[in-house]
Amino acid sequence: MLRPHFERQTTGRLLLRAIREDDLDAVFALHSDPTTNQFSRRGYMQTLDDARRIMGLWLEDWAREGVGYWLVERLEAPGVVVGLGGLRHKELEGQRVLNLAYRFVPQTWGSGYATEVSRVALALAARHLPHVPLVAIIHPENAASLRVAERLGMRLDRHVTEDGIPNRVYVIR
């Protein structure tokens, strides 16, 4: 299912692009940092094989669904990945949803990048996938991510437990 409008987007400051086979090092660097992954239910990645496995899933998302997480680069520094964000299909409590996610290197925290990327993702989902519920699953102690969801106009819908970890589910108002 080809959705070319999802594969590459730009904002005033950022390039959002589909993950590619040659992004292994960037994915590993972002996900192997304990600080960046302190609220991740799986913790931080410890090996390149961990990155290969998750990248395989994400590449499959793009191939099968035409939608997936983007790697994010600053337009002023092409080729330098500063984060990951966007949407991917997942099952949540037996329902197929679009999961909104964002993760950025600590040096960019507070820059508004998560909100900027998420606004593009929400607009594309509303235009092209309006029939699929959209959620953000956030650890209750991740205050920065909770603020991003609220800034996007999302509201707390319910609490869920995934892999033994409690999370909050935010939905579009």
Q: Beta strand pairing status for 134-138 and 165-172?
A: antiparallel
Q: Cβ distance 124 to 145 under 8 Å? A: no
Amino acid occupying residue 95: Q
Of 123, 37, 49, nearest in space to 83 by CA: 37
User: Distance between CA atoms of 14 and 23, rounded to whole angstroms?
Assistant: 17
Chain segment 121-167, per-residue pLDDT in tens: 999 999 999 999 999 999 999 999 999 999 999 999 999 998 788 99
Name all domains of the chain by residue range, CATH numbers in brackets.
4-172 (3.40.630.30)
Task: Decide if pLDDT at 86 tops 60.
Answer: yes
Of 134, 115, 118, nearest in space to 172 by CA: 134
Chain segment 21-79, per-residue pLDDT in tens: 999 999 999 988 766 666 666 666 678 899 999 999 999 999 999 999 999 999 999 99
pLDDT at position 165:
85
pLDDT at position 76:
94
Of 17, 139, 29, 2, nearest in space to 72 by CA: 17
pLDDT at position 173:
79
